[in-house]
């Protein structure tokens, strides 16, 4: 049975330069060809950084071109992917990070320093930026692996004492081995099957979904969402379950995702007009039409969370 990434990106390389994801704020466009071409090198880079099958990797990125690249490169490396919303406040972010039991996180340059401070005494020891792992090495693909920084186990000076699950920074008899640059990836008992039953995705650190489970969920939802090549999907939501499933369904169907996290109602309406949006995942208050009328809606329930898709009509 194919893996989660196989199913989502199976046709990406054949769609050429058609846009896969556009960042509405910056205008950056990731084509299907570029996405297919960058997954392999990014996966190899993550493995060089120490990602081994079964390792938990947090992906904390807003909707945009980098999100599917990071998620599917980590999944292709055999990691258990833990998506977290990019707009969580400090305390909620820490609790989610501690619950994830991950030792590595991928984020963007804007959030890396803040994330490093807030990570505190969670298990996270490497925080990588997408720019680090997804950019070509300046010294060529055969160059030695670039090792990311090991995060010192210090707390944000302004943070309150934590009572969530954590791992002491010192090495004790019961402490798990530190995954620093000089420590080889742990293998053996912690590594499960690499096939369809291997762990693929978790949103809370507890309920783990296998590749087969994710594929089954996507195949169940595809006829409901009906995202096709003609569709342009506006994604404003940063809720991890909605963000993950919408990107996957759009990429499976060949649609064009326009990402605008945090867009205001006026900005949503302008983007719907500018891009000819056919489906929108926006907060309810952002989709109302004048005179009290409403656009049609479709509710998609995935991973235990319902997401409402709006279908704009002129």
Strands 199-202 and 208-210: antiparallel
Q: How far is CA 3 from CA 56, 84, 191, 297, in A?
A: 17, 22, 16, 31
Q: Which residues contact 176 (CB under 8 A, 6 or more apart)?
A: 123, 167
pLDDT for 167 equals 33
In terms of pTM, does the model score above 0.75? yes
Ranges under pLDDT 50 in the chain: 140-193, 290-292
259 neighbors 21 (Cβ within 8 angstroms)? yes
Q: Which residues contact 33 (CB under 8 A, 6 or more apart)?
A: 12, 13, 15, 16, 17
> Could you give the CA distance from residue 51 to residue 304 in angstroms, rounded to a whole number?
28
Strands 256-259 and 279-281: unpaired
> Could you give the CA distance from residue 133 to residue 220 in angstroms, rounded to a whole number?
32
Count of alpha carbons within 13 angstroms of residue 245, beta-carbon side: 30
Which H helix or E strand runs over 107? strand 104-107
> Could you give the CA distance from residue 19 to residue 137 in angstroms, rounded to a whole number?
25
Residue with tokens 């809606």, as numbered in its chain = 297
Closest CA to 20 of 4, 45, 2, 37: 37
DSSP letter for 150, please.
B
């Amino acid at each position: 049975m194919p893996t989660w990434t196989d199913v989502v990106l199976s046709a990406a390389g054949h769609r050429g330069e058609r846009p896969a994801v556009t960042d509405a704020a910056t205008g950056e466009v990731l084509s299907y060809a570029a996405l297919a071409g960058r997954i392999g090198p990014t996966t190899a880079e993550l493995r060089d950084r120490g990602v081994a099958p079964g390792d938990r990797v947090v992906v904390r990125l807003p909707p945009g071109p980098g999100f599917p690249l990071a998620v599917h490169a980590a999944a292709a490396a055999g990691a258990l992917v833990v998506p977290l919303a990019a707009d969580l406040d400090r305390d909620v972010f820490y609790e989610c990070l501690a619950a994830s039991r991950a030792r590595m996180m991928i984020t963007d340059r804007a959030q890396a320093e803040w994330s490093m401070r807030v990570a505190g005494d969670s298990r996270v020891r490497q925080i990588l930026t997408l720019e680090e792992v997804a950019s070509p090495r300046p010294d060529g693909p055969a160059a030695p692996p670039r090792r990311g920084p090991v995060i010192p186990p210090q707390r944000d000076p302004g943070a309150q004492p934590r009572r969530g699950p954590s791992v002491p920074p010192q090495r004790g008899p019961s402490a798990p081995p530190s995954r620093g640059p000089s420590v080889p990836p742990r293998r053996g008992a912690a590594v499960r099957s690499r096939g369809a039953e291997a762990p693929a995705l978790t949103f809370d650190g507890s309920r783990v979904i296998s590749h087969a489970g994710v594929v089954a969920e996507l195949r169940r939802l595809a006829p409901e969402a009906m995202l096709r090549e003609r569709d342009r999907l506006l994604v404003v939501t940063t809720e991890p379950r909605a963000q993950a499933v919408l990107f996957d369904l759009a990429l499976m169907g060949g649609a064009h995702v326009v990402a605008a996290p945090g867009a205001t109602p006026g900005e949503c309406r302008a983007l719907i007009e500018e891009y000819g949006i056919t489906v929108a995942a926006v907060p309810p208050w952002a989709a109302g039409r004048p005179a009290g009328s409403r656009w049609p809606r479709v509710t998609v329930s995935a991973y235990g969370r319902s997401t409402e898709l709006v279908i704009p009509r002129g």
